[in-house]
């Protein structure tokens, strides 16, 4: 049922109103404006619950009055009339793109992160670690079989992923209540986006704009695993007649982890200030996040089969054991500041500039043990460490990996529109610095990490802090681009050509005694052309085709570092010898229909060289991310998604993908031989994925359902180990009350996550891939020993109750 209607007092001879033009919610050129049109449209709908247009006169001379009415958005921003359960806003870009709006976001658990929410989009598989969605640091997200390290990530035009390991960290950037829209462009990124790893596409978050009137919102949540969450936001409205408006929000979350004795605590703050005049705007975004969590324990397949979800860290300390949960703590504090600015210079010229700064600090702990008399600082014997208590000459320690990340940059471009042409050109510069080092904290007899007797940090007999690595990683990025869009045939035909040159320079120093190569790095300059074309057959039907390129530098600073074992004093690992960036050439053809049912269909083909597969390993005693060069790869597939407009308040959605991805060549093994991997299926690549969604909202009662299916996936390049298919089912129910006193439309919402799975859990993704799980003969006859992959364990059942109100 439509929630906005036009009522004509006396129709002229039964004539129907003129057909509306297609709504454009995703951007045309430049692509980084995705979501702004939708935001302005919603702002109009929110502020105008009932408007009367001037009277007109019919053909018979009878006065006519046009009355437009629309349901006002609830305090959580949901309108309740989106197509496809809020997951299918109309698109016009000449690429496959999926999105969801507030109608979808507001119906999810407020603890769920963006990376988890996009699991409903076609071709997306998300390997989660917990049902509440609090942990997005160790998930494994793939789009068309490409990992999260190959997905570009921006927030209001600001590059928001970690510049080194490319992890998304979506929970550190925005609270769900402030998230207006999420777009996922499968396949390639916009030439204007400040990204250098977007081989598999671009994930874009759009934050809500401040309201033009003073208002507030409060959301209180509780549920499974002792969940406790509070969120509060206040909008200032326009300050005087300055045109400036702002909002600030704060949230606190605490919950026990769903398996094991660990917990997660999160403090978060968002602020957005906006000044608009004419077609100009200046924004200031500030986001702060402080999170304390613990690394889960990742089982091998045999450990999973034997222990299931009971494969956890120990709740109580066993003297001498390093498996105590307090040794696995992870703390990350982050602040993001950005100022997107858009200026109309008249005569068809517009200027866009976004300076930004991001800083992250913290540490990650991993349990281990040290020898009191046989340890080394680099290649220098540490001497007698004299740490007590010790057990058979060794003592348990927590390895503290301390990091400090500073990332600053500016992205600027000019757009000139003249006649049928729109020309854009610009430049992006970024500088990133990351010092990171380890130290060791010894445990006392009760497992406490104490500073007693100078035991923290552990020092050599010479008085030096014992470390396994001490690195400083630096990166500079320069990118220049130009793009031209041409429209013809009354704007039905749109042709776009773009060229982007990205230059990345990296240098790493490893200040450990005994290393032959204490400085490593590389520099790359990569050309990235794109061509796209779309044709609007009818106002409701569009076809498109594109050819794009993408690249990604190897993820993780350990790729560039040499390491010396603290246990032997000898080099235990060398830097990667093949540091060439991943490069892709892709082609895509698609069809869209907009109407009672929105339909998106696309066929795609990728060819990769130096395919970078992200993995995680314990290096130097700490848990770090790095890349494996997977050589060449070919991927072909098809996606479809269908969403219906609300009918009797119901709005359904379905999506699916078929993918066939194969390795093109034999991979080099650690012993120098080559594994016979040519023709094998690519790792972390499900052949089939599917989603079904349903939204019901009559203004008072609302609910949603979301079902996801992901087929089995290989976790080794030799295809000698895989984990099974899985499915998840989430349900949400809610009720809105009438406004009362200062409380505007209070509501209660219940979210049931992983319904039907109980607490059994499932293997949701590969945490660390391996070349082969079983011993195998290389092509030259040498036996290559197997290494067991480890896995993420998907969360069991969880329930979350939320009570919210506007004021």
8 Å CB contact between 768 and 789? yes
Task: Give the span between the Cα atoms of 716 and 599, in whole angstroms.
Answer: 36
From 538, 653, 544, 683, select the one nearest 604 (Cα to Cα). 544
Starting at the earlier edge strand, list the strands of the sheet with 201-207: 97-100, 179-186, 201-207, 151-155, 158-159
Q: Which residues contact 608 (CB under 8 A, 6 or more apart)?
A: 199, 582, 583, 584, 632, 633, 634, 635
Q: How is 96-164 classified by DSSP, letter by letter?
A: -EEEE-HHHHTTS-TT--HHHHGGGSTTEEEE-S-SS----SS-EEEETTEEGGGEEEEETTEE-S-TT
Task: Give the span between the Cα atoms of 271 and 248, in whole angstroms.
Answer: 4
714 beta partners: 722
Task: Give the span between the Cα atoms of 181 and 184, in whole angstroms.
Answer: 10
Q: What is the pLDDT of residue 127?
A: 87
Task: Give the span between the Cα atoms of 451 and 444, in whole angstroms.
Answer: 9
Q: What is the pLDDT of residue 696?
A: 94
Is the previous residue joined to 30 through a cis bond, with omega within 30 degrees of 0? yes
Starting at the earlier edge strand, list the strands of the sheet with 124-127: 124-127, 140-143, 146-147
8 Å CB contact between 249 and 229? no
8 Å CB contact between 765 and 268? no
| pLDDT, tens digit, 9 for 90 and up, residues 31-85 | 444 444 444 444 433 333 333 334 443 444 444 444 444 556 678 888 878 888 8
pTM of the predicted model, to two decimals?
0.87
Task: Give the span between the Cα atoms of 530 and 497, in whole angstroms.
Answer: 6
What residues does each domain of the chain span? 207-806
Query: What sign has the CA pseudo-torsion 107, 113, 114, 115?
Result: negative
Q: What is the pLDDT of residue 627?
A: 67
- Side-chain half-sphere CA neighbours of 25 within 13 A: 23
223 beta partners: 227, 800
Q: What is the pLDDT of residue 625?
A: 63
Q: How is 435-487 classified by DSSP, letter by letter?
A: EEEEEEEEB-TTS-B--GGG-SS-B-TTSPBP-S-EEEEEEEEEEEEEEEEEE
Q: Given CATH 2.40.170.20, say whether it is the number of domain 207-806.
A: yes
Residues of the chain short of pLDDT 70, as ranges, are: 1-73, 450-455, 614, 616-627, 757-759
Q: What is the pLDDT of residue 80?
A: 78
Distance set, CA 599 to CA 95, 267, 641, 645 (Å): 14, 40, 6, 11
Task: Give the span between the Cα atoms of 270 and 268, in whole angstroms.
Answer: 7
Q: How is 571-585 classified by DSSP, letter by letter?
A: EEE---S--PPEEEE
Q: What is the pLDDT of residue 358?
A: 96
772 beta partners: none
β pairing state of 280-294 and 722-723: unpaired
Cα 270 to its chain centre, rounded Å, is: 18
């Amino acid at each position: 049922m439509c929630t906005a209607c036009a009522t004509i007092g006396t129709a002229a001879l039964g004539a129907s109103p003129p057909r509306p033009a297609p709504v454009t919610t995703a951007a045309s050129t430049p692509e980084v404006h995705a979501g702004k049109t939708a935001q302005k449209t919603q702002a109009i709908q929110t502020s105008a619950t009932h408007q009367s247009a001037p009277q007109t006169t019919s053909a018979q001379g009878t006065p006519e009055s046009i009355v437009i009415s629309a349901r006002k958005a609830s305090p959580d921003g949901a309108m309740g009339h989106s197509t496809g359960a809020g997951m299918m806003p109309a698109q016009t870009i000449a690429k496959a793109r999926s999105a969801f709006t507030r109608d979808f976001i507001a119906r999810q658990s407020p603890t769920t992160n963006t990376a988890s929410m996009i699991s409903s989009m076609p071709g997306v598989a998300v390997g989660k670690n917990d049902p509440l969605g609090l942990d997005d640091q160790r998930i494994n997200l793939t789009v068309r079989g490409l990992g999260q390290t190959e997905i570009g990530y921006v927030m209001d035009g600001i590059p928001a992923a970690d510049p080194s390991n490319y992890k998304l960290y979506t929970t550190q950037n925005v609270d769900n209540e402030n998230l207006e829209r999420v777009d996922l462009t499968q396949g390639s990124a916009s030439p204007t986006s400040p990204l250098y790893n977007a081989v598999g596409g671009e994930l874009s978050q759009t934050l809500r704009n401040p309201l033009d009137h003073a208002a507030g919102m409060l959301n209180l949540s509780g549920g499974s695993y002792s969940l406790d969450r509070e969120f509060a936001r206040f909008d200032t409205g326009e300050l005087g007649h300055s045109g400036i408006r702002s909002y600030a929000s704060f949230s606190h979350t605490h919950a026990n982890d769903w398996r094991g004795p660990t917990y997660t605590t999160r403090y978060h703050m968002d602020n957005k200030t906006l000044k608009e005049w004419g077609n100009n705007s200046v924004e200031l975004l500030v986001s702060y996040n402080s999170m304390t969590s613990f690394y889960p324990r990742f089982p091998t397949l045999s450990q999973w089969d034997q222990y299931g979800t009971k494969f956890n860290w120990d709740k109580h300390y066993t003297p001498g054991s390093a498996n105590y949960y307090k040794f696995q703590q992870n703390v990350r504090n982050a602040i993001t500041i950005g100022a997107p600015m858009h200026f109309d210079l008249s005569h068809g010229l517009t200027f866009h500039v976004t300076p930004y700064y991001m800083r992250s600090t913290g540490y990650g702990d991993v349990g281990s043990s040290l020898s009191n008399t046989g340890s080394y600082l680099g290649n220098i014997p540490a001497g007698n460490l004299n740490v007590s208590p010790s057990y058979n000459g060794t003592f348990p320690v927590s390895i503290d990996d301390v990091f400090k990340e500073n990332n600053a940059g500016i992205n600027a471009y000019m757009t000139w529109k003249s006649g049928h042409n729109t020309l854009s050109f610009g430049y992006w510069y970024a500088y990133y610095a990351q010092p990171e080092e380890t130290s060791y904290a010894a445990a006392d007899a009760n497992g406490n990490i104490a500073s007693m007797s100078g035991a923290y940090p552990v020092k050599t007999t010479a008085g030096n802090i014992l470390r396994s690595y001490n690195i400083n990683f630096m990166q500079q990025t320069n990118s220049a681009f130009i793009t031209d869009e041409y429209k013809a045939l009354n704007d039905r035909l749109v042709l776009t050509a773009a060229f982007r040159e990205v230059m990345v320079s990296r240098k790493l120093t490893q200040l450990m005694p005994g290393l032959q190569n204490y400085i490593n790095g590389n520099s790359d300059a990569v050309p990235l052309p794109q061509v796209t074309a779309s044709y609007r057959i009818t106002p409701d039907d569009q076809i498109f085709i594109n050819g794009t390129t993408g690249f990604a530098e190897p993820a993780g600073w350990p790729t560039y570092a040499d390491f010396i074992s603290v246990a032997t004093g000898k080099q235990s690992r060398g830097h990667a010898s093949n540091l060439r960036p991943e490069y892709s050439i892709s082609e895509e053809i698609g069809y869209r229909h907009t109407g009672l049912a929105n339909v998106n269909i696309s066929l795609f083909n990728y060819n990769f060289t130096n395919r970078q597969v992200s993995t995680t390993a314990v290096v130097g005693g700490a848990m770090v991310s790095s890349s494996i060069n997977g050589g060449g790869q070919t991927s072909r597939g098809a996606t479809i998604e269908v969403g219906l407009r609300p009918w009797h308040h119901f709005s359904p959605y379905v999506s699916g993908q078929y993918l066939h991805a194969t390795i093109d060549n034999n991979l080099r093994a650690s012993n120098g031989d080559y594994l016979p991997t040519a023709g094998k299926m690519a790792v972390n690549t499900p052949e089939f994925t599917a989603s079904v969604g349903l939204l019901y909202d009559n203004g008072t009662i609302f609910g949603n359902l979301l079902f996801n299916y992901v087929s089995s996936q290989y976790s080794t390049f030799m295809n000698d180990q895989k984990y099974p298919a899985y499915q998840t089912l989430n349900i949400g129910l809610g009720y809105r009350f009438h406004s009362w006193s200062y409380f505007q439309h209070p509501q209660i919402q219940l979210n049931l996550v992983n319904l039907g799975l109980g607490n059994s859990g499932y293997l949701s993704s590969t945490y660390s891939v391996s070349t082969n799980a079983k011993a195998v003969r290389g092509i030259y006859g040498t036996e290559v020993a197997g290494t067991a992959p480890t896995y993420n364990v998907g969360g069991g059942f969880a329930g979350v109750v939320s009570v919210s109100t506007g004021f």
